[in-house]
Structure formats: C-alpha cells, structure tokens
Amino acid sequence: MQHQLLTISHHVARITLHNPPANVLNLSMLKELELVLNELEEDEYVRVVIVTGTGRFFCAGADINELAHLNTVHGGSEFATRGQSLLNRIERSDKPMLAAINGTCVGGGLELALACHIRVAAAGCMLGLPEIKLGLIPGFGGTQRLSRIVGPSKAAEMILTGKSVSAEEALRIGLLSRVVPPHELITQVESIAALIIAHGKTAVEAALHAIRGGIDIPLSEGLAREAELFGRLCATPDKQASVRAFLEKRQPKLAETEV
C-alpha cells in the first residue's frame, strides 16, 4: 500500500497511516483503507486492529486541495457519504478498533479516531474539528459521533469554534480513554489489545454489538443529514473563499461576516 503500512502479529493488525507530511485522507488513501478493511475483515487470525500514524501527525483530515474542487452539492454529498461509509465500517467492525493517536489529530483524522472503539493518545497531542474555518462542517460523521461521546455542549463548542483541545483536555471530557507518554503509546495500546484477545472472540463481538446497538438508527439518520448539509456547503461562496485563503495562507474574506 502506498499510504499505509500493515503489519500483523500475535492476532493484532496495525495500520500505520503514511502520507507525509500530515497523513491527509485524500481519495487514494481512502481507497487504500477500504482495501485494508476488506482484507482484515476476512482474516480470521486478526482479533484486534490498531490504527496509528507516522511522524508528527496521526492524521490531519481531508486533503484541502481536493476539497477545493468540491463546488457542487452532489459532489460534496458524495464525498461525505464515501467517508462516512468507510468510518461506519470501522465503527461496526466485529474486531475491536483501537486508535493510537501519535500526533496531531484533526478534521477527518479525528473523525477516523471517533469511529474507533477505544482511543489512546500521546501526551501533547492536539485534537479538533476545524472544518468551520473552511466554511464547512465535519462530513465524515464528526457532528454525530463527537456529540455522542462528549455531549452536545462540548461538541458544539469544538465544532462551532474550530478550536482544538489538548490530549489532556480530551481525556477530561471523555474523548480519550488514556493519555500516555509518547514513547509508551504503542506499548500501552498493544497491552489493551492483549487483554481483549485474552477473552473469548464471541463475547468480544457480542459486547461490541451491544455497545453500538443503541445508537445505530439515530446515527444513520444523523449521518444522512450531515452529508446533505456538507454537500450544500460545498457549493457556497464562503466555502470556496475559505479554502482558497487556506491554500494561499491568508485570512478569508467572507460575505456573511462583512458588516
């Protein structure tokens, strides 16, 4: 795989996102993740999956250059739905999915982590959903999963301001289950995986079904609404101006904010 490294050992598969410098989720990377999930879903040897990143980033989200070309409702909704479908597969996997957040985790990267069943981060990492700064909203499930995990008030604050929180704050609000020293991240996540593997496969699968069973129906409705809104925003002048400004490293001039 061009943008991912897959290793399997002791019933644990590790997916390492590798798309320097920021491990962005471009279309090529999304396709590769789909192929990796296909492989792991069929592999009876694999009991637990760990997702992590290389370098200073876990994942910085969608490729801004690709977002810049999403200027229609249909194109935007289709893009959001594809990302949602991939992350739904992660959330609904019969194999526990663990996010080992090694660095900055924002936008689609945080949405990827939110879809995982357990999230552990290295101390000092920053996590956030900054899409509002591009005239958009999270489109890969962030508006739905974040509010279910940290509550609607804190989720609204993070999404509406676009500000990131530290790993320590993310732990306090329940976004993470652990924050560990960076050099211990993989070791500690692997220790969680080992504890899970020590239990019966059938019981683990049943537990996952029970945990997610209560939110499946409302989540699917929320995701459909999110994709619709994301698509509408892709066709707005403010989104286009914001993305251009980001690529040109300047502040955007937005019609809606002019006095």
Catalytic site residues?
A: 111, 131
- The alpha carbon dihedral of 14, 84, 231, 145 has a sign of negative
Residue type, 207: A
Using CA atoms, how far apart are residues 116 and 97, in angstroms rounded to an integer?
Answer: 5
Q: Are 73 and 67 in contact (CB under 8 A)?
A: no
Map residue 123 onto helix, strand or coil: coil
Q: How many helices (H) and strands (E) does the chain have?
A: 11, 10
Please tell me the distance from the alpha carbon of residue 182 to that of residue 197, in angstroms, as a whole number. Answer: 24
